Amino acid sequence: MYSLYSLLVLIVAVVASPWFIYQALRHKKYVGSFGQRMGYLPVSFNMDGDESIWIHAVSVGEVLTARPLISDLKRRYPNLRMFLSTTTMAGQQLARRSVQDVDAVFYFPFDLGFVVRRTLDLVRPKLFIMMETEIWPNLLRECRARGIKTAVVNGRLSARSFPRYRMIRPMMRRVLDHIDRFLVQSEESARRFIDLGADPARVVVTGSLKFDSLELSSTALAGAPAARSVRGGVEARARDRVLRYFRVPASRPVIVAGSTMKGEEIAVLRAFRKVRTAAPNTLLVLAARNPERFGEAEQLARQEGWKVARRSDLAIDAEPRVDVVVLDTIGELATIYQIATVVFVGGSLVATGGHNVLEPAVFGKPIVFGPHMENFLEIAEAFVSNGAGVQLAGEEELDETFLLLMSDPVRRARLGAAARALVEANRGANEKSVTVLSQLLPQEPRAYPANVRPFRPLA
């Protein structure tokens, strides 16, 4: 089975190589990371061959989710090095810039036997953690052979992906047998993992880490415990630096359209035109999900006749004197939600599964999203049922919903308060996850030099 899988990986790599070459030439992707993806890490990476915990987070969302988990694991296991890998360039950039408790960041290796063996020789993990649903058969098989503990954390199987996994259930059963713990977001995901062959005794429902990974606003920090406030103070300073480019007066309405996908920007821009007829001073912040589409989003806005600026071109400590700002930076969207009057969360008007609605919720913002929230189904349903978000049937409802919310501050406040309350009520998954992982990897007593004597007070 594994030989057939490896052959399939090679075939896919050959077939997809023209696309990778195009991405390398057009967007400068993969050029500098190919060596690491082949298992060749820098000489200084782990020079002393120390044992470690290896966490894999695919892209930006998983990196943000993993940050509090990494911090807590680092405090619990100070003698182990902490390594973080990503698949995407955007995730790599964010990890290097914003994750403070890791010893090194690198690109995830291709899932071929000789490549993963080379990587494991250098990383030397005692525990390998996969964020959400990153399941790589050859790597997991090699971890089992070496006695390395493995865990899926914040695991989920969406209604869209589950049928595809069921088609290869015999293979999945063998692969899942190599995973020691499944820490999943919901009862539904737990049932799906078990149906694919996971041992029920290894599956634990811990809730969604996304609730715990959210940065708190200054208001939330007011009543926070001391340890949480210290971390929050650092994050607040980082937010303040970003917001210095968005000195928007309180009287100016702001629509933030976050994580938009191809086909959504034009719907948002046309709804924005109707909003401007009622509120001529409204600002739109447009944040395409994929960095390679920043230019396309800017072009669409200009074609619609708006005065446009990129975030990277804004003046510091000044109000943006434009109609539309295209957010062309990575990792700042969650902060920009703080200035929003109304938030639209993209990936939901087109069939791509939706994106994270929790980031604007922590700031108590009224949230609008479309019908396609398959990847966040439980969270979307909770928001709708608790009056914490507005779900559209289609893009034709977008302009009327914007207009209604922009003109009704009471409803905005009600939606925002319910969203924030929902977030606070669902925190705690990080603590549960660390507890389960510590059972999987018990702490070892610290070793002290043999010549150190116990302290004795002088007579």
Residue 62 is a catalytic residue? yes
The helix or strand, by DSSP H or E, that contains position 52, with its residue range, turns out to be strand 52-56
CA atoms of 286 and 258, how far apart (whole Å): 6
CA atoms of 346 and 328, how far apart (whole Å): 16
Q: In one letter, which amino acid is 281?
A: N
331 HSE (CA, 13 A, CB side): 23
**DSSP alpha helices (H): ranges in 304-376?**
333-336, 358-361
CA atoms of 332 and 338, how far apart (whole Å): 11
Q: Which are the contacts of 151, defined by CB distance < 8 A and separation ≥ 6?
A: 127, 128, 129, 130, 179, 180, 181, 182, 183, 436, 437, 440
Q: Which are the contacts of 319, defined by CB distance < 8 A and separation ≥ 6?
A: 247, 248, 249, 252
CA atoms of 269 and 320, how far apart (whole Å): 18
Catalytic residue, from 62, 264, 265, 298: name it.
62
Q: In one letter, which amino acid is 193?
A: F
Q: Which are the contacts of 367, defined by CB distance < 8 A and separation ≥ 6?
A: 343, 344, 345, 357, 360, 361, 383, 388, 389, 390, 415, 419
Q: Name beta bridge partners: 369.
A: 345, 391
Where in 146-196 does DSSP place strands (E)? 149-155, 181-184
CA atoms of 237 and 429, how far apart (whole Å): 26
CA atoms of 324 and 338, how far apart (whole Å): 17
Residue from 301, 304, 329 nearest 314 by CA: 329
Report yes or no: 138 and 67 within 8 Å, Cβ to Cβ: no
Q: Name beta bridge partners: 254.
A: 283
Q: Name beta bridge partners: 205.
A: 184
Phi, psi of 316 (to 5 degrees): -75, 145
CA 334 from centre of chain: 11
CA atoms of 291 and 93, how far apart (whole Å): 12
Length of the chain: 459
Say whether 1 sits in a helix, a strand or coil. Answer: coil
Which residues are identified as catalytic? 62
